[in-house]
């Protein structure tokens, strides 16, 4: 049964158009079918058929807002699966691609579904542990000091829910953990709203000048040399 289930999952992502749509959805946002069609370079009717297949496989879920209908990845675990497969594909890329500005931007700061990854994500995790905002003695836990600092920055600390507040998430470019879970997702969302972070279309994240102070308060020590801002 496990072999059959694995083959079914592989078949869903074997189609290049569906794979392209899933990669687009990795930015954590909800997309319309039309937007997914454009991202994959296919007709909207074809994209609609692919979305139906992805829904049936449990990869995506529909979201309705007013008269508008959107699609988003159904679960963080699905995003992790797609992320890991994308990592494997990236490792098979040529040296020229790995050296490109796009890939250097992704390695420096990118979204891992709905939270920060790359050099910035790992630096954030290290800083929060080093300054006592997060305790890792018995698993990852937000300390009272950490809650106070985040509250001072206006970051809402999620309460309850099925998703863990903090968890380790292996960063494929750094080969070390960054922070995943409900809290890093809330932090990133708040940072985008406050103008700390700017999303790029390819999942890379640009750090804005307004991010310097909050990241410093969170203990993140970032390199002075960064990929170009253009």
98 in the same domain as 68 = no
Total structural domains in the chain? Answer: 2
Residue 33: Cβ within 10 Å count: 21
Residue 85 included in any domain: no
Q: Which residue range is the domain that position 210 belongs to?
A: 93-217
Out of 19, 46, 75, a domain closes at: 75
Which pLDDT value is given to residue 97? 44
Residues 65 and 153: their CA atoms lie apart, in Å, by 29
Tokens 């290290």 belong to 126
202 in the same domain as 131 = yes
The CATH number of the domain holding residue 21 is 1.10.10.10
Residues 139 and 116: their CA atoms lie apart, in Å, by 20
Out of 75, 102, 130, a domain closes at: 75
186 in the same domain as 156 = yes
Out of 75, 103, 135, a domain closes at: 75
Residue 86 included in any domain: no
- Which of 140, 126, 129, 109 lies closest to 221, judged by CA? 126
- Compute φ and ψ for 27, nearest 5 degrees: -75, 0
The model carries a pTM of 0.74
Residue 169 included in any domain: yes
Rounded to 10°, the helix 16-25/33-40 angle is 120
Q: Give the tokens for residue 213.
A: 């102070």
Walking along the chain (230 residues) 10 residues at a time, the average pLDDT comes out as 65 86 82 90 93 91 82 83 70 49 84 91 97 94 97 93 88 87 96 95 90 96 73
Which pLDDT value is given to residue 23? 83
Which pLDDT value is given to residue 83? 74
Q: Give the tokens for residue 69.
A: 């209908």
Q: Measuring CA to CA, how many Å separate 12 from each of 18, 25, 36, 61?
A: 7, 15, 16, 15
Residues 145 and 93: their CA atoms lie apart, in Å, by 43
192 in the same domain as 101 = yes
């Amino acid at each position: 049964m496990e072999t059959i289930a694995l083959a079914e999952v592989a078949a869903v992502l074997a189609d290049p158009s569906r794979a392209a749509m899933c990669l687009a959805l990795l930015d954590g946002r909800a997309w319309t079918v039309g937007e997914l069609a454009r991202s994959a370079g296919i007709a909207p009717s074809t994209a609609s058929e692919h979305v139906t297949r992805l829904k049936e496989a449990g990869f995506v879920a529909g979201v309705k807002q007013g008269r508008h209908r959107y699609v988003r990845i159904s679960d963080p675990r699905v995003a992790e699966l797609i992320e890991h497969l994308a990592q494997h594909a990236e490792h098979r890329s040529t040296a020229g691609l790995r050296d490109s500005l796009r890939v250097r931007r992704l390695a420096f700061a990118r979204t891992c579904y709905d939270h920060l990854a790359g050099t910035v994500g790992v630096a954030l995790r290290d800083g929060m542990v080093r300054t006592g905002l997060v305790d890792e003695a018995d698993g990852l836990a937000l300390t009272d000091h950490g809650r106070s600092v985040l509250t001072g920055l206006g970051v809402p600390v999620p309460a309850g829910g099925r998703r863990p507040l903090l968890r380790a998430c292996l960063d494929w470019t750094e080969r070390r953990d960054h922070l995943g879970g409900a809290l890093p997702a809330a932090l990133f969302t708040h940072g985008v709203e406050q103008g700390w972070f700017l999303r790029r279309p390819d999942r890379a994240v640009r750090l804005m000048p307004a991010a310097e102070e909050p990241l410093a308060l969170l203990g993140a020590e970032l390199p002075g040399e960064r990929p170009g801002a253009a």
